[in-house]
Structure formats: structure tokens, C-alpha cells
Amino acid sequence: MTTSTVRSAPPVPAPARRYRWWHAAAVGVAANAVSALPRGFTGDAAFYNDLDTPLGAPPDWLFPPVWAFNNATTLWSNLRIANLAPGTPGRAPALVLEGADWALFASFSALFFGLRSPVLGAAVTVASLGATAGSVVLTADLDRRAAWALSPRLLWLAYASYVATATAARNRDPLLARTRNRS
């Protein structure tokens, strides 16, 4: 009598989650919706235009198209990184930094326009520059095209950090003045 051994096939791993364009669009819409809450999508042009800004500061009308472009290229980059295999070394830290940067982006309008604080606006801008620089470094190890897609944001934030810190230094910050008066 012979016995036959039946071997079962190895389990088939579940396919990796595939993120689609609408997932990226949802992130972008959510971040922009939160950002627009205090003053709408164009901020508060009167507040910005009344500030003493440094030489080379952009006109208020330039911000919406620049950020639309930066957000589109960032979302494309984020989607490429999100679609890497979940265990890919460096993927999780890159996505965490990008998540932090989206939170900074979403908070800017509330802090700068809503609270009328050039100092908090500068702090968020400089923090976003740092997060973006870190993202570019981490992303470059994973996907060079995705890292290059972040470079317009990195360049804009370097320029914006100059403008924001100089603006904060040249103007009274009403929020901080109120805080000091309460002490």
C-alpha cells in the first residue's frame, strides 16, 4: 500500500494596497479645505499687503497658482512613495514627514491670517522647509523622480522662509503683543 502526501500550495500573499489618484486628491482637498477655513483660498490680501515685507516679496496673487502647482507635484510624489511595497526601507519615514508637512500646510492660514501672526507664519514656513528638505533626502533614496517632484516646493519654501522671517522681523505681531500684555 502506498500513501501519497498531498502538499498544499503556499498561501498567496495579499496584493499590496494600490493607491490611486483619487486617494492623493482626497489628501489635497482635505489639506486645502482646512487651510481655507480661516480666510478662504486666497488668504487675507489686505492683511498681507499691509505688512512691511522685504525686497522681493511676491505679490498676493502669486500664492494660489504657486501652491496649486506645488500641491500637484507633491501629491504625485506622495502617491509614488505610498505605492512602494509597505516594507520598503525609508518609505514610512518619508510618508510621515510628508504627513507632517501637509499638517503644516493646512495650519498656515489659521496661524498667519486667522491669528494675524507673522511670527507663527514664519515658524510654520521654516518648519515646512525643514520637513521638505528631509522629505527630499529620504525620497531620493526611494524614487529619484518623486524627489525631483518635491524640488519646486523646496525652492519655494526656501524663498518663502526668507520672506516670512524678514516680514516677521519687520512687523509687530498682534498675537504675541496680546500674549505679552497678559503676562
Single-letter residue type at 3? T
> Residue 151 domain-assigned?
yes
What is the mean pLDDT of the segment spanning 151-176? Answer: 96
pTM, entire model: 0.84
Q: pLDDT, tens digit, for every residue of 19-40?
A: 889 888 898 999 988 888 866 5
95 belongs to a structural domain: yes
Q: Which domain holds residue 93?
A: 43-182
Is residue 30 domain-resident?
Answer: no
Does residue 27 lie in a domain region?
no
Confidence of residue 1 (pLDDT cuts 50, 70, 90): low
pLDDT in tens, 99-157: 999 999 999 999 999 899 999 999 999 999 999 999 999 999 999 999 999 999 999 99
CATH of the domain at 143: 1.20.1260
What is the torsion angle, in degrees rounded to the nearest 10, for the CA atoms of residue 156, residue 169, residue 49 and residue 45?
60
Could you give the dihedral angle defined by the CA atoms of residues 114, 115, 119 and 120, in that order, rounded to the nearest 10 degrees? Answer: -70
Residue-wise pLDDT tens digits, 39-72 = 655 567 888 999 999 999 999 999 999 999 999 9
Q: Which cell numbers in the block locate residue 147?
A: 524627489
Beta-carbon contacts of 138 under 8 Å, excluding residues fewer than 6 positions away, are 90, 93, 94, 97
Rounded-to-5 percentages of helix, strand, coil across the chain: 70, 0, 30
Q: In this structure, is residue 127 part of a structural domain?
A: yes
Q: Is residue 69 part of a domain?
A: yes
Q: Who contacts 142 (Cβ-Cβ below 8 Å, separation ≥6)? A: 81, 84, 88, 90, 91, 94
Helix (H) or strand (E) holding 36: helix 21-36
Within-domain flag for 33: no
User: How far is Cα 94 from Cα 77, in angstroms, rounded to an integer?
Assistant: 11
In a domain, 31, yes or no: no
- Domain total for the chain? 1
